[in-house]
Amino acid sequence: MTVRKYFRQGRASPFEYTWPAGRGIPGWVLQHKVPYGTSDAAHDPVMQHDLPINVDVRSIICTPILSSFGEVLGYFDIRNKQDAEGFTVADQDMLMALAPAASIAIQNALAYQQRLSAETELQESYERLRALAANLEVVREEERTQIARELHDQLGQALTAMKFDLAWLTNRIVDKDEALGQRAKAVTTQMDTMIKTVRRIATELRPGMLDDLGLAASIEWLAHDFEKRTGIICLTTVTVPDVPLPRAPSLTLFRILQEALTNVARHANAQLIEVRLDATPETVTLQVHDDGRGIQAGEAAGLHSLGLLGMRERAQRLGGTFDIRGVPGDGTIVTVIIPVKSN
Amino acid sequence: MTVRKYFRQGRASPFEYTWPAGRGIPGWVLQHKVPYGTSDAAHDPVMQHDLPINVDVRSIICTPILSSFGEVLGYFDIRNKQDAEGFTVADQDMLMALAPAASIAIQNALAYQQRLSAETELQESYERLRALAANLEVVREEERTQIARELHDQLGQALTAMKFDLAWLTNRIVDKDEALGQRAKAVTTQMDTMIKTVRRIATELRPGMLDDLGLAASIEWLAHDFEKRTGIICLTTVTVPDVPLPRAPSLTLFRILQEALTNVARHANAQLIEVRLDATPETVTLQVHDDGRGIQAGEAAGLHSLGLLGMRERAQRLGGTFDIRGVPGDGTIVTVIIPVKSN
C-alpha cells in the first residue's frame, strides 16, 4: 500500500511511503483489515517511531477503507484527539461509517484512471489507423500515377510511333497493291482505337488535366463525362475560373466530386445535378446539389457509408470540412470546403 | 434534481421523482444548499405529504451533497430516529461530514460515465475507420483487377490480333518488296514488345497467377522476381505445395509478402531471405526471415510504420495474426498466420 499524499485538515501534503503488510499501524490495518487505535502512542509496539510524521503523537486511530472485494484501498488515520485521553468507539464508528463513501470514491477514481488510459490508448490506435487510411490513398494515387505514366510513356508513345511507321508503310503498299494497302489501312485504324483506349485508361487513372488545365476545367470535364455516361444532366458553375491550387487540394476535390457523382447515380434517383466551385483567397468550396430523393439524416450520419466517411476523411486531411444534408423534395447537397494557404 | 433510487438500510429501491427547486424538503435543500430538519414532520409545511414515501414519517433530516463548484449533486435524507425525539446537531454534523466523500464518489461516477461514453464513441469511430481502411484496399484491388482486365481484354487481345494481321501483311509484302517487308517485320517485333509490356503491367496489377497457379507457385514467382530485381537471394520453402485457398486469404498473403519483401529491400540491409509457406488443415502460415540488421522492438511496435500497420490490419481482417520480431545478428522474422475455414 503506497501513500503519496497526506491530508491534514483538508489540505494535502506530499508524503511518499509504501507500507508493506504488517509494517507500522497502516501496515497492521492493511494486514488485519480492522481498525487499530491506541491512547499511548509513545509506547505502542506497532507504531513506527522513526517516521518523522509520527513525532509528538499521543493518541491515534486508524481504520481501513475496503473495496467491494474486501481489499484495503486506503485508511483513515486520525491523531491527537483534542480535549480527551484518546479516541472512543463512537469515533471509530464514525470513521467506519465514512469508509464506504470513501471506498466508492477511490474505486471510481481508479476506474476513471483506467478509462482514461484505455481512451488514450484507443485514441492513439485511432490516429495510427487514420494515418494508415490516408497513406492507403496516397499510395493508391501514386500507383495510379505510375501506371498512367507507364501506359502513356511505354504504350501510348510506342503505339503512336508504330502508327506513323504503319502509315508510311501503308502509303507505299497502296502504290504497289491497292487491296493489300486497304488491309494495312485497316490495321492503322485499329491502332488509332488502341491509342485512344490507352489514353482513356490513363486519364481515368490519373486526371492529368488537373496539372494541364487546372481544377475548374477538370471539374467541367468530369461533369460532362458523367452526363454522357449516366444521362443525368450535370450543370457546372465555376465562379472563379482559374483557381490556382496545388495538386493535393485539386486532387482531393476532384476525387470527392467523382465519389459524390457516383453516389448520386447509385442512390439519389436524380435527374439534375448542379456542381458549383467557388473560391475566396482563404478557401475553395465545392458544392454538389442533386434533385433526387434527399439523403436521410441517418444515412448522412455516415455510420454505414464508407464512401461518405472516405470523403470526409479526405477533406479533413487537408484541414477542410465535409457536409452532406438531404432535404426531402429538394435533393441532397454535398459541401466541401478546403482551406487554401495564402502565399 | 432527479432521484432514481432510494437507499433504505443499504438496499436500493426504485424511486423515480424529480424535485424542482423549492418543492418538498429535497427541493428546499436543493434551493438553499443547507440542511433542513424537523422533529414534527406531520405538521411541517415544506414536507410533501402526498408522496407515499412520506407516510408515517415523524422526524427527518436532509443534508445537501455539494460538488466542488457548489452545486447540489444529491442529498442525505434520514428518517425516524429511533429512541429519540428527533435528530440532533451532532447527527447533522455527521451527515455533513459524510457529504464530501459522497460528493467525490458522485463526481467520479459522473466523470466515469462521461469517459465511458467518450470511449464508446471513439470505439465506434475506430471501427468505422477500420472498415474504411479495409474498404480502401478492397476498392484498390477491384480497381487493379478492372484495369488489368481492360489491359488484357481491350489492349492485349487487340494487339495480338493486330500482330497476326501484321504478320500476314508482312509475308505478302516481302514477296513484293524485300526492303518494305523488313520494315514491316520491324513493326511486328515492336508489337511483340508492346504485348509483353501490357502483360507485365497487368500482372503487376493483379497476380492472375493466384487463380491459375495457386498461392505456392505465385509466392515462388514473387520471390524469384524479387531476387532478379534486387540481387537479394530469396529462397522459398513450401511444405504443402498445393494449398487450396480462396482468393481473399491468397491475395492477403501475397500482398503481405510483397510488402515484407519491399521492407527488407528498403531497411534490412540483408543478403538472404528465406520464405516459408506452411499449412495445417486449420491455418496457413507465411514466414519471411531475412539476415539483415534485425528490426528494433520500438520499430516493430509499429507506431510509425504504416506498412507494418497495414500488414497487421490485412491479417486481422481475415481473423489472422501478424508478428514481426528482430534478433540482432539474426535478422528479422515476419510471421503471418491466417485461419482457413475447413469445409
DSSP result, A211-244: HHT-HHHHHHHHHHHHHHHH--EEEEEESSTT--
- DSSP codes joined into one string, B63-89: EEEE-TTS-EEEEEEEE--TTSSS--H
Residues of B in contact with A98 (CB under 8 A): 97-98, 101
Specify the pLDDT at position A49: 87
Specify the pLDDT at position B10: 67
**Which one, of B44, B25, B27, lies nearest residue B36 by Cα?**
B25
For the record, the C-alpha cell of B96 comes out as: 455533513
A301 vs A68, higher pLDDT: A68
CB contact under 8 A, B133 and A136: yes
Phi and psi dihedrals of B83, rounded to 5?
Answer: 55, 30
Q: Cα B49 to chain center, whole Å?
A: 57
Give pLDDT tens digits for A56-93.
899 999 999 999 888 999 999 999 988 878 899 888 98
Specify the pLDDT at position B340: 86
Q: Is B331 left (phi over 0), alpha (psi -120 to 50) or beta?
A: left
pLDDT at residue B173 tops 90: no
Residues of B in contact with A313 (CB under 8 A): 129, 132
Q: Give the nearest partner residue to B130 out of A111, A124, A129, using CB atoms.
A: A129
A183 near B165, Cβ under 8 Å? yes
**Which one, of B225, B219, B236, B318, lies nearest residue B272 by Cα?**
B236
B175 vs B254, higher pLDDT: B254
Give pLDDT tens digits for A23-53.
899 999 999 999 999 999 989 999 988 888 8
Average pLDDT over residues A292-304: 75
Phi and psi dihedrals of B107, rounded to 5?
Answer: -60, -40
**What SS3 state is found at B47?**
coil
A149-153, A225-229, B61-65, B297-301: the lowest-pLDDT one: B297-301
Give pLDDT tens digits for A329-343.
889 999 999 998 754
Identify the closest residue of chain B to A165 by CA–CA distance.
B187
B199 near B156, Cβ under 8 Å? yes
pLDDT at residue B8 tops 80: no
A80-84, A242-246, B4-8, B120-124: the lowest-pLDDT one: A242-246
pLDDT at residue B342 tops 60: no
Domain map of chain A by residue range?
A: 2-87, 126-205, 209-339
State whether the Cα torsion B101-B106-B110-B112 is positive or negative: positive
Identify the closest residue of chain B to A95 by CA–CA distance.
B98
**What SS3 state is found at B341?**
coil
Q: Give the nearest partner residue to B126 out of A102, A122, A131, using CB atoms.
A: A122
Q: Give the nearest partner residue to A150 out of B158, B162, B201, using CB atoms.
A: B201
Q: Grid cell 407516510 — which residue? A: B55
Give pLDDT tens digits for B195-251.
988 888 888 887 767 777 788 888 998 999 899 999 999 999 988 766 677 888 888
Rounded Cα–Cα distance for residues B153 and B168 (Å): 22
Rounded Cα–Cα distance for residues B297 and B312 (Å): 16
Q: What percent of chain B has pLDDT over 70?
A: 96
The total number of residues written for chain A in this structure? 343
B57-61, B232-236, B328-332: the lowest-pLDDT one: B328-332
Residues of A in contact with B179 (CB under 8 A): none
Q: Cα A35 to chain center, whole Å?
A: 52
Q: Hey, which CATH number is domain A209-339, 1.10.10.10, 3.30.70.260, 3.30.70.1090, 3.30.565.10?
A: 3.30.565.10
Per the prediction, chain A carries an average pLDDT of: 87
Q: Give the nearest partner residue to A306 out of B109, B132, B310, using CB atoms.
A: B132
Residue type at A6 in one-letter notation: Y
Q: Grid cell 502460415 — which residue? A: B285
B100 vs A20, A139, B34, B75, B105, CA distance in Å?
Answer: 29, 57, 14, 11, 9
CB contact under 8 A, B109 and A109: no
Rounded Cα–Cα distance for residues A219 and A236 (Å): 8
A240 vs A214, A234, A243, A318, A321, CA distance in Å?
Answer: 12, 18, 6, 21, 20
CB contact under 8 A, A191 and B166: no
Q: Cα B219 to chain center, whole Å?
A: 28
Question: Which of A63, A88, A147, A168 best tests the B interface by mutation, with the highest count of B CBs <10 A?
Answer: A147
CA–CA min distance A206, chain B (Å): 13
Residues of B in contact with A161 (CB under 8 A): 190
CB contact under 8 A, B159 and A194: yes
pLDDT at residue A121 tops 60: yes
Top-ranked range on mean pLDDT: pick from A35-39, A158-162, B114-118: A35-39
Give pLDDT tens digits for A181-223.
888 888 888 889 889 888 888 888 877 677 777 888 889 989 9
One-letter-per-residue 3-state SS of B94-133:
HHHHHHHHHHHHHHHHHHHHHHHHHHHHHHHHHHHHHHHH
For the record, the C-alpha cell of A287 comes out as: 458544392
Is B209-339 in the same CATH topology as B2-87?
no
* N-term to C-term CA, chain B: 60
Q: Give the nearest partner residue to B115 out of A119, A166, A303, using CB atoms.
A: A119
A8-17, B42-51, B85-94, B137-146: the lowest-pLDDT one: A8-17
Specify the pLDDT at position B56: 86
The ipTM value here is 0.70
B194 near B144, Cβ under 8 Å? no
How many interface pairs between A and B have CB atoms less than 8 angstroms apart?
180
Strand order in the sheet with A60-66: A36-38, A60-66, A72-79
CA–CA min distance A108, chain B (Å): 5
Identify the closest residue of chain B to A141 by CA–CA distance.
B140
Per the prediction, chain B carries an average pLDDT of: 87
Rounded Cα–Cα distance for residues B131 and A313 (Å): 13
Considering the segment(s) B2-87 as one domain, its CATH architecture is 2-Layer Sandwich (3.30)
